[in-house]
Chain A
Amino acid sequence: MADKVPAKAWVVTFAGTAVNLCLGILYAWSVWAKALINEKMVGQPMTGINEGWHYLSNAQASMPFSICVLVFALFMIPGGRIQDKFGPKVGAITGGLFLAAGCIISGLAKSYAGLIIGFGILGGIGMGIGYAAPTPAALKWFGPHRRGLIAGLVVGGYGGAALYISPLANYLIKNGITYSFVWLGIFFAIVVIIAGSLLAWPEPGYVPPAPPVKPGMAPAAPVGTAIDWAPSEMVKTWQFYALMLMFIGTTQSGLMVIANAAKLMAETAKANPEVAAMAWLLPSFGGAVNAIGRVGTGLYSDKIGRSNAYALNCIVSALFLFLTPFIIASGNVYLLFLSLGIAYWQYGGGLALMPSFTADFFGPKNLGMNYGLVFIGWGLGFFMARIAGTIRDVYGSFDYAFYLSGLVLIIAVVICWVTKRPIHAKE
């Protein structure tokens, strides 16, 4: 058994990050929305560099984005299938080309319908098919002791896209909306074809290197399964539902804080008016911490174990959720940013941990499809975020929502501790 991964493994990892950096274009929609919206001139033609375009209303401008999200969700599981069947090259390049075509069509059509069909439908198809490809491909090269870091790096690309696509689109849009769409489309096509063709599975029979054994110490017990579970086998294990519950746990608290971040700022500002002046920092701060949290959590999950990393993130996060009402009352902006940062970190970390858990429990072969099913937990996590709003309406403050969310996190940690990987009948 080799003790070092081949160089190809790292090439695949960073190619995966590059593909995800392109697919994260969804985050930049607001740049175009801003250029297209003019409530007072809806339907009237634009002039100058944007000749041929017409102004959109707020409602119209959110349409391509929403449609993109739905199509993305519809195509994620078929995308996992494509990657499990035809390999990551086909998945990533098909996805990337759909996205590129979508961007170019959006640009050239210069119309509302063009944006819906190009950005919404073709872009969504591209993201759905492409998203499933890079992470499982990279994970197959590494032993379980490295999965956390690798998943973090690849998934981090998607989050990291928020950091560069908006400024890039902002820069390109100075030459016109069409120009920005067409050039981003061409850019994506080039990057995805190059990076996508670097994605590859290891040769059959490849054994990822085991963790280095220190002299005088017993080799570590294997954390992952040696058997590749089929999705139909996976859904019959209780561990699958436990993973979903754990996903709900991290998502609900993360989204609750993220969704209410602006409002929390406003409430803190009541005690300290200077806080309001710092509200503009929030989105970039959140995006950065979210992306770093993915890589960071992945990194230490390899050292201290997946369950411990999950528990650490959730317990610290729960602690701060319990403290948030006091922080708001204190009006201390640094404590508020710290507490928001921890929520963003924990949410990003959860997105990096869950694919690794899925790979540890059910093997890398069908990871595309299997993770797609575990991801349903993310969708259900939305529930809790909504309950927070209801609690605020009933009690006039978020306090109980925070306590409840913290409690759910603690329960998720307990579930995480009692959940051990299932043993396949063939083991």
Chain B
Amino acid sequence: MGSASHFSAASISMPAYKPWPLPYYLDPQTLAVDAFISFILAILFAVLVNAEGQALVATLLGDRRPGAKDRHHYIAFLHLDVLGTLCFLVGGFGWAKPLDIDASKFPRPFLYTVLARSAGPVANLLLANIAASIVALMRWFGATPLVFEMVMGVNVTMAVYNILPLPPLAAGEILIRLLPPQAAWLLRRLGPFALLGLALLDRLTPGGVISPYLNPWVHMIYRYILGS
């Protein structure tokens, strides 16, 4: 065992291979089967923990639903949302099938809604941490953890983009609790389309519209989690 194989911050920050871009965007010109499949898998994991995280916290805080079909099944495919998945493919971020949370069951409706909705991105960051553990472990063994870096990247991206104030992203769900019922209804209907449009606009505009503001956060959190 030479000193080069020792686990150190230096070996973490400088992988010996070319990492995939962060956040990952589908690009028809450079589309490759390995990156594409890793991306899809990472989306499945991100959507799964996001939705189940919200469901778990909502249940613990008082919104109990014995026999509910939309939560606690831990099957990623059933959490996929059509527009949310499309948004992942277009803009690198997206959302899970919106989880129905009944705030009237909470002793403190607004505060607990904030907690339950934030649990989604928090769960994404936790998963990114687990993936980072595997990345570190694989680098110890000299293996290439590109797939797990993808899981990290997609989860961090999803967590960060949840601060966009449009439902069904977490900040949007919190925002519509503050709006009058009419506006909330309208925003809930339009939110997903607005987000998809925003993602498309961001991709088509040179330099981007929202990504210049959010991607630095993605990079910062990603580096922090990886410990470098």
Contacts and interface: CB of A to CB of B under 8 A. Distances in A.
B7 A382 contact: no
A151 to B, nearest CB: 22
Contacts of B147: 63, 66-67, 70
A90 interface: no
B8 interface: yes
B72 A235 contact: yes
Contact of B37 (A57, A121, A262, A373): A121
A271 interface: no
B129 A232 contact: no
B146 to A, nearest CB: 6
A294 B66 CA distance: 36
Contacts of B138: 62, 66
A392 interface: yes
A60 B144 CA distance: 8
B72 A263 contact: no
B213 interface: no
Contact of B41 (A74, A77, A279, A386): A74
Nearest to A63: B34
Interface string A235-264: 100000000000000000001000110110
B134 interface: yes
B1 A62 contact: no
B145 A66 contact: yes
A231 B1 CA distance: 46
Interface residues of B, number: 44
Contact of B145 (A62, A81, A116, A393): A62
Nearest to B33: A113
Contacts of B33: 112-113, 116-117
A87 to B, nearest CB: 19
Nearest to B135: A386
User: Which residue, B7, B18, B148, has most C-beta atoms of chain A within 10 A?
Assistant: B7
A379 interface: yes
Interface in A39-90: 57-60, 62-63, 65-67, 70-71, 74, 77-78, 81
A262 B133 CA distance: 18
Contacts of A255: 137
A255 B77 CA distance: 30
A120 interface: yes
Contacts of B67: 232
Contacts of A57: 17
B145 A67 contact: no
B151 interface: yes
A266 interface: yes
Contact of B137 (A78, A231, A382): A382
A325 interface: no
Interface in A312-354: none
Contacts of A175: none
B105 interface: no
Contacts of A393: 7-9
Contacts of B136: 386, 389
B150 to A, nearest CB: 9
Interface in B40-89: 41, 44-45, 48, 56, 59, 66-67, 72-77
B133 A386 contact: yes
Given A67-B37, A70-B45, A74-B44, A389 B145 contact: no
A263 B7 contact: yes
A104 interface: no
Contact of B34 (A112, A379, A382): A112
A187 interface: no
Given A70-B151, A266-B1, A62 B143 contact: yes
B65 to A, nearest CB: 9
A70 B41 contact: yes
Nearest to A382: B133
Contact of B17 (A59, A67, A382): A59
Given A63-B146, A231-B72, A389-B7, 15 more contacts: A62-B145, A66-B146, A66-B148, A70-B41, A78-B74, A78-B77, A120-B37, A121-B37, A255-B137, A262-B5, A265-B1, A269-B1, A276-B1, A383-B133, A393-B8
Interface of B: 1, 5-9, 17-18, 33-34, 37-38, 41, 44-45, 48, 56, 59, 66-67, 72-77, 129-130, 132-134, 136-138, 140-141, 143-148, 151, 227
Q: Which 8 A-B pairs have the closest CB atoms?
A: A266-B1, A66-B147, A382-B133, A59-B144, A77-B74, A386-B133, A59-B17, A113-B33
10 contacts: A59-B146, A63-B38, A67-B37, A74-B41, A231-B72, A262-B1, A263-B7, A279-B1, A383-B133, A393-B7
